[in-house]
Chains A and B, each alone.
Chain A
């Protein structure tokens, strides 16, 4: 990996690499993940799941399972004392299915036993009688009048229209294309797990690997029918998330079990169960038309996007919002006409995954732009550069003026200028498409280069209220930072520490700073998602530190030092940070103050393709990413490289295949997460143009690496092979047969 060094700031902590507080324990194996937690006398839970994607539940017979020695109790929908239907945005999902099941793997019962193995065995002994219902699997058919109705209000989760500017026809040149993206799984390594224990006051404490403690808390409280204050959620060690832990999986089942048995209850999912249990990236169909002048000036973009939302809404409402708002990319258009829809089907639930709708949109707009570049015979990089948004322009969809931190041209030019790899395809077996299997001597290998640009907003947007609390406590032991910001691996604990150091050390001198455990007792932080947590937490901790300093007599501190000045007191600084509020866009034009700020990124992919075998070796990925101001350059590189790996996975090998509503490959044997051998050389360039809205000018960095890496790889494979390739992941068959896609997808009328 080679790295272009960003400009370093003069400040003591922000912009400088620090050792992460959690890193040594993670290396030595001493770090406690949620599935390492234990409690005296604990019981174990196992979930009974539906094998059917759509069926009526006729009867549930738990007698045989209950008769097994060591089985304590079995919970079903009848045991849920509060709301039986939950959901963190749209309440449509049963805690336990009753009446009917709508996807394979839907929870029906929770078996509590004295060991995990016994609980699993007993779960197999629960017999459920089903009467199968017609299965709706094709999202294109979901809104047909004769489609099975999956929810009382119909099969449409949300339709969003963004339509303004000039008419979308009559340009000198028009190109059109329809594109598809597959169902990607977050495939975090630490399986879902948690431990709940009853509290003496009638409440419950749930230790859980999650992305949002408070969303879990309110849903647990609603289902239990108790006050939110009686539900304490504590963050257990999280083994990766990427959006896959925004929804409740075992949280409510555990809390209920702990309250009903009066004992601690733990569960850990197995990998197949993990695949079935959490929502995935929405499969998408993206139909596009782009109009332009002969000189390459973009005129309009027309897009019709349909997402397969699966059986329940999860985050489909905001995901289709994001897909629609970023369907025009970071380009100047006179006219946009975009309709985004997310629909219910009996497929696995779709929800949040890194990029959150903008990944799919990016594949659509960038692939269509390449058609235009070919039609006009203009270099694809030059076409993008010429039409890139500049500071002060209006964002093409929302119509918002973009501020000074919009280095779109910079990321394009700098990425394109990064060095290319050696020109001739190497013939070392490790470097061959297909690897070491002696599949080819290289005679069919062609090289291709592809380029793509991505954009997404940070923070929630579309009017969702947003704030973040932090407390900074100074005592004789030093400083403790208290926050509910969840460490999912992204390094937020290191950020909290650095911000406190940055703010406090100039006044207090060197001081021990530690970050307390994240829990609902530590105020509200919102989710670790949407590239928001670094921004939000940095804002809150900075303000809390300033509140603390205002409470200190700094003259005394500077005379005698912080230890003497504090003696045995505890002084707390507290703050709530609120970014600029947003609003929902206009229902017909889509215009409005929808987002606070944006991140921009460019990727260039170089691939070797064996056009006779359809095998691909990604040789190099180069990226320039707009990071506002780099808080921890090393951790940012980690986010970028990991995000590219996931983008490569979506381009080439990652897809949860589903047939008739049944997952075909819910295991790491068949769901192919990229390995070290799949990864190319990666060149990373950080572009720093401070974001005036954000603390320290920083930007979120987690999502952009997954936006344009996928379309850049697809473009490179098209360039190498000449195959039209309309769908990711790309199969070897698609390349060899020179088809748009070997998948049997229906192309709708556009």
Chain B
């Protein structure tokens, strides 16, 4: 499917070159186009957008290493930026833990949670997070289906396993 078939891209927009999950891409964006919409228009559909108001975290990506709501970032400001989405951030241990703890139902929130969990673990570094702390770390992402217990348990389990393996942080 070509970009034109998505047809929401702005043909006479500003050209913005950036890296998405390690690939060089060039986007054509209007001044009001969010990074989320620009990514999706260019066929990067793994990142979802439930509110486009910065409230749900489903659109979470790493922008130059920092977690952002991609719906709030104007794409025109992302020239030369390095964007990482769930596509390159989804580590096998996180995926396995999410499966094992029944943390996925409709799945609309899941890509954002994968980014948020990875960010929480990196931010914590070698410090073991308590259950309450993990709840706080993940409180920027909404999930309407699971009640969060599986997501939080999975995140805590991955952290313990990584620390036990001496990895501290991955990827």
Contact = CB atoms under 8 A, between A and B. Distances in A.
Interface string B40-60: 000001111011110110100
Nearest to B54: A669
B73 interface: no
B77 to A, nearest CB: 19
Main secondary structure on B side of the interface with A: loop
Contacts of A229: none
Given A26-B104, A667-B53, A42 B7 contact: yes
Nearest to A490: B105
B110 A641 contact: no
Contacts of B103: 638
A368 to B, nearest CB: 28
Interface residues of B, number: 60
A27 interface: yes
Instruction: Sort chain A's interface into a size bin.
Output: 35 or more
Contacts of A24: 95, 99
B8 A641 contact: no
B105 A240 contact: yes
A676 B153 CA distance: 11
Interface string B1-41: 10001111110000000000000000000100000000000
A676 B139 contact: yes
Contacts of A644: 147
Given A33-B108, A240-B106, A187 B144 contact: yes
Contacts, number: 196
A36 interface: yes
Contact of A668 (B8, B56, B145): B56
Interface string B127-171: 000001111101111111111111111000000000000000000
A724 interface: no
A731 interface: no
A25 B101 CA distance: 16
A641 B90 contact: no
A440 B64 CA distance: 38
Contact of B151 (A20, A242, A489, A676): A676
B107 to A, nearest CB: 3
A490 B102 CA distance: 11
Secondary structure call for the A interface: loop
Given A26-B107, A39-B5, A637-B102, A677 B144 contact: no
A146 interface: no
Interface in B60-114: 85-87, 90, 94-95, 98-99, 101-111, 114
Nearest to A675: B139
A263 B171 CA distance: 44
Interface of A: 1, 19-20, 22-33, 36, 38-44, 114-117, 186-191, 237-242, 270-271, 428, 430-431, 436, 488-491, 634-635, 637-638, 640-646, 667-669, 673, 675-679, 682
26 contacts: A20-B104, A23-B104, A27-B110, A27-B111, A28-B87, A28-B95, A29-B110, A44-B8, A189-B142, A271-B50, A271-B51, A430-B136, A431-B132, A491-B105, A638-B103, A641-B148, A645-B146, A645-B147, A669-B53, A673-B142, A675-B138, A675-B140, A675-B141, A675-B148, A676-B136, A676-B148
